[in-house]
Amino acid sequence: MDRILKSKIHEIKGSLLNPSSVNTSLLAGTLGEILFLFYYAEEFKDEETKNFADKLLDKVLEKIQKQRGTYLYSDGLSGFGWLMIHLKEKKFIDIDIEYMFEDLDENFEKSVDYLIKNNDLDFLHGAIGIGFFYLKRDNGLVRNRILKKIICSINESAIIVGKHAKWASYDYEKKEFDNTKVNMGLAHGVPSILSFLVNCARQRIHSEITIPLITKSADYILDNQLEQNAYNCHFPFYIDSEPLRSRMGWCYGDMGVCSALWKSGVFLENRRILDRVIEIMDDNVLREDLRLNMVNDAGLCHGTGGVAVIFQRMYYNTGRKNYAKAADFWYNKTLEKGNRPTGLAGYESCYSATKEQLNLKKFVANNGFVEGEMKWASSRGFLDGISGIGLALLSRLNKRNMVWDEALLIS
């Protein structure tokens, strides 16, 4: 596999060297490209690509100086900040991070206050994403104050019933929270809150709040599993009166949920949680029908690349060889997906073709592809494009190339 793998990685790098407009998005734009290019340069000892990545980063810095944009993780300064710290930790760049951001702390805090006021705790687009960045910061009082606000908001908005903790799902159509519906995706739901709380507790930040919530939310997730034989999965998209089977992917479904549960089990030293995660992942090893599991493209978000990376991380976590074998199955599927004639490096991403929110029932009933309502398009990005696919493939080549998965709460 390695020969084909390297060939595709080189092809992705070649596509990203072609000029494109510069933006400040980590998940969908230039920052994801920079992340891949630095990892590529290290793996292949390619000084020319490193210089290209340095210059591209300079262009992003120039753009931010002219127009700061949002403070969110997905497309704003929190995502940019996480990237800069990560690149410095990897010794790809040498820069004073705190000097770069110290004048922006007040605006970050105002953004957190606004998001908390609206009860927006989303990882990608809300307060938790900013908190994720501040967990990496070194600036003492401001860092602690912002994290305390986010943790207290999580605690105050939690719905506690007995030994369970959950958070209401936001209904984007009605533009209000629905207390009868709970999002179960790592991208936007209870698993992302659980994962963030574990990251806080690891640093002993407000452990009196975080540890009880970790225990209660992990129990809530585990006690709300579906019957695997009936649904072909253990966790639905949402927990509500009519749960729907979920896809295989990072964003929703068993893979992302198990990533969060594993972190909580390790932190709590809870063998019951860890053993249950292994049982669920063992079931997922057998799920190889892409269409049935609603896997259309190769991206990290909801494609083969994200599934491969999570199986590989679980192999490193457990040493279980069936996960390594499953990872290789999904890496091979990722390579096979790179054959679209009009795609960048042969890859295109599958999107909703309308501005209306996708009808989830129809989506599931059609195994993840609704004719006339889905479209294919090229993407250079990290979350659903070739930058993320390239990072996934690089991770298969060398374990040291995988620490970037922290960006998606996988490690």
Give the torsion through C-alpha atoms of 127, 130, 136, 137, to 10 deg: -110
Please work out, in degrees rounded to the nearest 5, the angle formed at the alpha carbon of residue 322 by the alpha carbons of 321 and 324. Answer: 65
CA distance 268 to 361: 36
Mean pLDDT (whole number) for 280-303: 96
pLDDT greater than 70 at residue 389: yes
pTM equals 0.95
Token pair 């709300």 is found at 224
Burial class (CB in 10 A: 0-12, 13-18, 19+), 256: buried
pLDDT greater than 80 at residue 171: no
pLDDT greater than 70 at residue 13: yes
98 pLDDT tier (thresholds 50, 70, 90): confident
CA distance 392 to 256: 15
CA distance 314 to 336: 23
What's CA 322's distance to the chain center, in Å? 23
